[in-house]
Copies of this chain bind each other. A is one copy, B any other.
Amino acid sequence: MVLGVSAIPFTFVAHVLAILGLVFVLVWTLHFRGGLAWEATNKSLIFNLHPLLMLVGFIIIGGEAIISYKSLPLRKDVKKKIHLVLHAITLVLGILGIYTVFKYHNESGIANLYSLHSWLGIGIIVLFGIQWLYGFLVFFYPGGSIGLRSESVPWHVVFGLILFTLAVGNAAIGFLQKLTFLENLGLAKYGSEALLVNFTAVITILFGAFVILSVLSQSPIEDENNKVTSSLKSISLVP
């Protein structure tokens, strides 16, 4: 481990931040923005599905999928299945979340794919799909050779964390973008909705940081498999 402390306090804080993030995005979309809808004449209600699905579906469930593999006191093969299924849900909800914003744009006559947020979003979901598929094929079914698995693990972890970090950063970009649009339409810059959206972004970033801190800390159990893997993959961040 990089940090010689238990992952448990970090994962606990991450779970609390996840719940806060869910509550904040629900208050925003339901209370301030008029609610959620798949079909509506008020197209903003279709848009509102986007932050909910991306934050809760893609970032929070994705973060919990990372935490689950690190921190659940279960056997490695059980944790692997939980990790795989949670990330499959992440992928599906992420694709659905991206679909909702195209639906909103198309039904409202807004241009698609001109912003940094959209570019990064498409890039991240494609790379995440590839990462999930590679993980499925090599670590689950049909499964790669011991050599390939052992070679792949550190790259899987590093690319996974880079993608997760990019997703968190892109969520923050999305919150700022939407809020800037709303402020240009007259929303008060220091009003309660603006503060709520900014704090939702801050909570999202803190959630990301605590997921990463939990990965860099010590797992609650070290079974035989883990010991072997740990000794194979011992690393140092200092040169």
Contacts and interface: CB of A to CB of B under 8 A. Distances in A.
Contact of A165 (B165, B175, B179): B165
Nearest to A113: B190
B179 A116 contact: yes
Contact of A175 (B79, B116, B157, B216): B116
Contacts of A120: 172, 202, 205
A237 B155 CA distance: 10
Nearest to A200: B116
Interface in A66-108: 69-71, 79
A135 interface: no
Given A69-B239, A173-B172, A202-B119, A155 B3 contact: yes
A145 interface: no
Interface string A198-239: 100110010001001101100100100010011001111111
Nearest to A237: B157
A146 interface: no
A141 to B, nearest CB: 20
Contact of A4 (B3, B69, B154, B230): B154
Interface in A161-197: 162, 165-166, 168-169, 172-173, 175-177, 179-181, 184, 189-190, 194, 197
Give the size range of A's interface with the partner: 35 or more
A interface majority secondary structure: helix
A235 B215 CA distance: 11
Given A172-B169, A216-B158, A202 B116 contact: yes
Contact of A212 (B157, B162, B222): B162
A153 interface: yes
A201 B158 contact: no
A19 interface: no
Given A114-B194, A119-B198, A158-B213, A237 B226 contact: no
A1 interface: yes
Contact of A236 (B1, B69, B158, B172): B1
Contacts of A157: 2, 237-238
Nearest to A209: B162
Shortest 9 CB-CB distances between A and B: which pairs? A219-B239, A169-B169, A114-B189, A234-B234, A230-B236, A2-B235, A157-B237, A116-B176, A116-B198
